Amino acid sequence: MKVDLAVICWIIAILAALQILLLVLLVWRKVRRNRLERKEQQRYAELLPEFISYLNGETELDMAKLKNDYQIAQRLASDIMSSTNDEEIQEKVRSTAYTALHKPYERALEDSSWPVRMNVLYYIQSFQMKEIAPLLQSKFNEMPVWDEEKKQMARTLASLGDISILPAVFSSIRHSQKFYRDVLLRFPRETDSQLSAYYEETDNPLYLCAYLQRIGDRESQDQITQVEEALASDFLEVRMQALKTIGNLYYMHSPDRLRPFFSSSQWQERMLVAQTVRKLNMHTFSDELGQLLGDAEWWVRYAAAESILEVEGAEKLKYYVENHPDSFARDMASQWLSTESKLDAYA
């Protein structure tokens, strides 16, 4: 320990000085930030009435003002977009946003900062800037790794209706079903026929599932034939998705196609068929539901009891409480009967 006391004093002094420096830096930053926020709020408040008046067709808008302050332009457009359902106004906001923002956005896509690029991807999607799609597409193709940015780029391109991303999205790299669904759901309705054509030509179960899910999410009953045919698929996940989609559509042509699922070796299929019967309010499968009430799997019993209550009524469930040969079935029926809020819903 051949250290001089003066050195220690110096170390303490340097530490103290560093702390003071840090404090000065923090205060300066805070003051500056608060001032900027106040100014931004003021500019926003000034421009908002002008912007609304322009959207209502009452006055012209000085586009230069928006272009000079693209952060405010972005905030105005975003706030209006999220607060109105008027398609005409939304379209006007979109075109104004494109005029004022496309150049800063194109620059931002090349920015070295990850959050800047990510933020812009969300805004491009929100303002539906289809004109930027080619630039996005080339950047998408250049990206080697499926990181957060590439996934967001896929979502943004899907929302702009760029069907060319499908082979890349549904390639050998396995993503979650949620991601596939997310991408497919974003495609606008105008792309339905192209998505359908891709469904017919591919045998990729990931795409098949996501496509069936989209039909359910969009409630496209006119595509029920494709869904019913999928009930005979070789892939378990495709059959399960077809059942879920039928449930979401509340409709099917040929209920007999459901019959094999009551005795499926997969409990998920048995549970889903019970749920489907409930959603479609089918009275033809009363015995099969009674059988599923005594299933070995808790979830199947749960779904079967719910279906019996909704389709057959509380009396049928009471009958099972007293007469079902399986004790677990009696317990489940009893649980559903005691859940008063649920009974009220089915009254």
Partner 1 sequence: MHNALFIALSTLSAFVILFMVSTAISYLFLFLSSMRKVMREGKLEKRSILDDLSLKDRTYPVSILVPAYNEEVGVISTVRSLLTLDYPEYEIIVIDDGSKDETLAKLISAFHMRQVNHATRLTLPSQPIKGIYHSAAYPTVKVISKENGGKADALNCGINASIFPYFCAIDGDSILEQDALMKTMKPIIDSEEEVIAVGGSVRIANGITISRSQVETIDLPHKPIVIMQIIEYLRAFLIGRLGFSRFNQLLIVSGAFGLFNKGAVIHAGGYTEGLIGEDMELIVRLHRVNIENKLKKRIEYIPDPVCWTEAPETFSVLRKQRIRWQRGLAETLLAHKKMLFNPAYGAVGLLTFPYFLFVELLGSVVELIGFLIIIIGVFFDILNPVIVGTVFAVSILYGSFISSLAVLLEELTLHKYPKVRHLLVLFAWALTESLWYRPLLVLWRIEGLLNTFKKKADWGNMERKGISSSEG
- Considering the complex, what minimum distance in angstroms separates the CB of residue 232 from partner 1? 27
- Considering the complex, what minimum distance in angstroms separates the CB of residue 49 from partner 1? 23
Task: Please state, in angstroms and as integers, the Cα–Cα distance from residue 86 to each residue in 81, 82, 94, 127, following that order.
Answer: 9, 11, 12, 14
Give the dihedral sign, CA 123/129/131/137: positive
Which amino acid makes up residue 197? A
Q: Does the footprint of partner 1 cover residue 12 (CB under 8 A)?
A: yes
> Any idea which residue has 């959050």 for tokens?
115
Per-residue exposure over 38-66, b if at least 16 CB sit within 10 Å of its own CB, e if not: eeeeebbeebeebbeebbeeeeebeeebb
- Considering the complex, what minimum distance in angstroms separates the CB of residue 150 from partner 1? 12
- Considering the complex, what minimum distance in angstroms separates the CB of residue 231 from partner 1? 23
Task: Please state, in angstroms and as integers, the Cα–Cα distance from residue 258 to each residue in 145, 213, 228, 266, following that order.
Answer: 42, 18, 9, 14
231 versus 332: smaller Cβ distance to partner 1:
332
Q: Does the footprint of partner 1 cover residue 266 (CB under 8 A)?
A: no
Q: Does the footprint of partner 1 cover residue 265 (CB under 8 A)?
A: no
Which of 44, 54, 109 lies closest to 74, judged by CA? 44
- Considering the complex, what minimum distance in angstroms separates the CB of residue 293 from partner 1? 12
DSSP 256: G
Q: How far is CA 225 from the centre of its chain?
A: 26
Q: Does the footprint of partner 1 cover residue 298 (CB under 8 A)?
A: yes
Identify the residue among 53, 86, 95, 122 touching partner 1 (CB under 8 A): 122
If binding means CB under 8 A, how many residues of this protein chain bind partner 1? Answer: 54
| Residues numbered 181-210 forming contacts with partner 1, rule: CB under 8 A | 182, 185-186
DSSP 57: T
Identify the residue among 52, 61, 109, 118 touching partner 1 (CB under 8 A): 118
Q: Does the footprint of partner 1 cover residue 17 (CB under 8 A)?
A: no
> Where does this chain touch partner 1 (CB under 8 A) — which range of 17-25, 53-61, 221-229, 247-255?
17-25
> What's the start-to-end Cα distance of the chain, in Å?
85
> Where does this chain touch partner 1 (CB under 8 A) — which range of 108-116, 160-168, 227-235, 276-284?
108-116
Identify the residue among 171, 254, 339, 346 touching partner 1 (CB under 8 A): 339
> Any idea which residue has 């495609």 for tokens?
187
Identify the residue among 54, 55, 98, 126 touching partner 1 (CB under 8 A): 126
Contact 270, 262 (CB under 8 A): yes
> Where does this chain touch partner 1 (CB under 8 A) — which range of 115-123, 133-141, 220-228, 255-263?
115-123
- Considering the complex, what minimum distance in angstroms separates the CB of residue 326 from partner 1? 13
Residue 187 structure tokens: 């495609």
Other beta carbons within 10 angstroms of residue 241's beta carbon come to 26
Each residue 141-170 as x (binds partner 1 by CB under 8 A) or -, in order, gives -------x--x-------------------
Contact 151, 182 (CB under 8 A): no
Taking every pair of Cα atoms in the chain, the longest distance, rounded to a whole number of angstroms, is 94
Residues in contact with partner 1 by the rule CB under 8 A: 1, 3-5, 8-9, 11-12, 15, 18-19, 22-23, 25-27, 29-31, 33-34, 78, 82, 113-116, 118-119, 122-123, 125-126, 148, 151, 175-176, 178-179, 182, 185-186, 217, 298, 328, 331-332, 334-335, 337-341
